[in-house]
Amino acid sequence: KEQVFAKIQREWQSRLEETRRTVVECNDCSSQTDRVTVVDEASTKELEGIVGVQRLQIQKALKENMASEEALKEFEIELENKYRKNLASQVDAALTQAHARWLQELTDLKEYKVNLKIEQEKWEKEHKETAAKQLALVLSAAEEKWKKEYENTEKSGPRMKELEEKVISLKKELELKKEEIPAAIKAELAKARAQWNKEKQEEILQIQEQNERDYRSFLDDHRNRIKEVLATAKEDLAKQKNDLSIQKQAEIKMLLDQKQREWEAQETKRLKDEINRYEEKTLLELEYLLSEIHEELVKCTHSKHSWKDKCFDARVQLNHQCKDKLKACLQKAYRTTVHTILEKKEREWKEVIFLQIITANQKRDLRSQTHTSITVAGQKCTKRNLGSQENFCCEHCCQELEKREAVCQDLKRELEIARKHLQLAVKECEAKSEQIQALTAENSEMKTKLKDLGTPPRSLSKGGVSKPCTSCDSVKGLEEMRAQYIKAVSKIKCDMLCYIRESKERAAEMIKVEVLRERQETARKMRKYYLTCLQQLLTDNGKREGAEKKIMNAASKLATMAKGLETPL
């Protein structure tokens, strides 16, 4: 786009320079023609030729300007059409998404389903009423038409005779007029031609005079317009250059700030990662060195001088000098701590040994007194044993009580579950008893119906049994009637279910059709609304600006519209 705009600017600048030159030449020629007062025919002819050439040049420049303006207009129209198409596609996508969400939210609501049922019932009632009204209107209209046709057929006899007489008289008048009209037409045509020729000659003279006046005024207006266009073009170019420079500076500043922030964030992140890695490596090294020093100290505890003079080697290789320094520091710290701990332990052991010697001497002195103290100690031990046995018995009883309580709670839970099962079984038995009562009532009704029908008893032969056979026949009849009744009920049930399904399908189809219609209407309204908004934005309330500025403003406004469309509805 920027290359195209640059090319267009260059073409316009070249054309403006050419028009300036032609205007200067025209002004020079006009001043020279005003000053010259020679009446020679040759000079006048040369001046007329120069003026004609200049006129042709001006006309060519005007045509070129018009062609360039038309090309710019076509280019702007193409850009507008592309942006409109993109916006229309975005609007369609947003509308479909919003409508899908709206449908999902509606179908999940209970109120929507209830309202659908109510509206369906209302629609069925209204449909029946409208159908009845339409039938009544159609019947009444048909009756009225039939009556009118019947009356017209009765009255058409005398009218036909009158019409035939009128037709005959009109034919006679036409024949007379056919003979008179051509002569009158010829005379009127001759008069009209003479008047038309006079009027045309007068009009031609007036047009010639007016053309000369218009041509002179056109030249003056064209000169003034060229001057105004040059001034406005200069101002527009200066404004556009300033605006573009300001915009580019602002964009460059924004980009620099953004890049600087990104670089700072990346550097901080990199430094943090490096610090964390270095800390992890140092911690691993310290852990390994400490474990190695500890193992070697444990191995070399039997000799004091061996662990003092021992050197250590590390497996992890980061920085050899730093690692050696860490090893030396840790070894010094461990050596001092271990040396102090060993000295403390030696002192403690010496004190313990000294105390043991003192206690041994005291025991020798107290052996004489042990015999008397044994009896007293035996009594105390018996008392302690009794107390310990009582405590043990109490603890055992508490544990048994807790176990019994847990067992009782489990039994209570099982009893509650069994009670619930019994209640359910009682309810089922009651339901079954009600069903049995209903069946017995149906059987009694069927028996009464059979008695009312009055079936005659069969005449049996000799040795035949009468009562058992009648009872068997009645039972079979009851069973057959019951089977037929059950079949009829099942058939009615199936028919009702089919009718309900069909009605539901019809209602669903009607709802789908209405929803699609509403969707299409809303989509059309939204498209019209957004297109009107785009037209208002692109026209800029009738402001006249340069082509580049118009295109830039249109692009920025289309971008804002796209952002608005991307936001959720």
| pLDDT digit string, tens, across residues 178-190 | 677 667 777 777 7
Determine the pLDDT at residue 458: 40
Task: Quote the pLDDT of residue 463.
Answer: 40
Tell me the per-residue pLDDT of 422-436, one tens digit each, with 9 for 90 and over.
Answer: 566 556 656 665 766
Dist. CA 436–CA 305, nearest whole Å: 105
For position 520, what pLDDT does the model report?
82
Could you tell me the two tokens for 11? 């073409």
Question: Can you give the residue ranges of every domain in the chain?
Answer: 277-366, 370-436
More confidently predicted of 170 and 459: 170
Percent of the chain with pLDDT over 70: 45
Please say if the pLDDT value at position 269 is more than 80: yes
Specify the pLDDT at position 486. Answer: 73
- pLDDT at residue 338 in the model: 66
CA-to-CA dists, residue 82 to 77, 285, 548, angstroms: 9, 66, 17
- pLDDT at residue number 233: 77
Identify the pLDDT of residue 223: 76
Tell me: the pLDDT tens digits for 352-407? 676 667 666 666 666 655 544 444 444 444 444 444 444 544 555 556 656 666 76
pTM as predicted: 0.23
- Top mean-pLDDT range of 327-336, 458-467, 489-498: 489-498
Residue 36 scores a pLDDT above 50: no
How far apart are the C-alpha atoms of 491 and 498, rounded to whole Å? 11
The closest alpha carbon to 544, from 233, 261, 210, 152, belongs to 233
DSSP 541: G
pLDDT class for 246, splitting at 50, 70, 90? Answer: confident
List, for residues 321-359, the tens digit of each pLDDT value: 556 666 676 666 666 666 676 677 677 776 767 666 766
Tally the C-alpha atoms within 13 A of residue 288's C-alpha that lie toward its C-beta.
Answer: 14
Of 162-171, 334-343, 554-563, which gets the smallest average pLDDT? 554-563
- Please tell me the least confidently modeled range out of 168-172, 531-535, 540-544: 540-544
Residues 156, 153: Cα–Cα separation, whole Å: 5
Measure the CA–CA gap between 566 and 569, rounded to whole angstroms: 9
Contact 84, 534 (CB under 8 A): yes
- Per the prediction, the chain carries an average pLDDT of 67
Residue 64 has a CB neighbour count (10 Å cut-off) of 14
State the DSSP string of 183-216.
Answer: HHHHHHHHHHHHHHHHHHHHHHHHHHHHHHHHHH
Q: Which of 38-42, 473-477, 486-490, 553-557 has the highest mean pLDDT?
A: 486-490
Residue 266 pLDDT = 85
CB atoms within 10 A of CB 244: 13
On the CB side of 303, CA atoms within 13 Å amount to 8
Give pLDDT, residue 37: 42
Residues 41-89 pLDDT 10s: 555 566 666 666 766 776 776 777 677 777 777 877 887 788 778 777 7
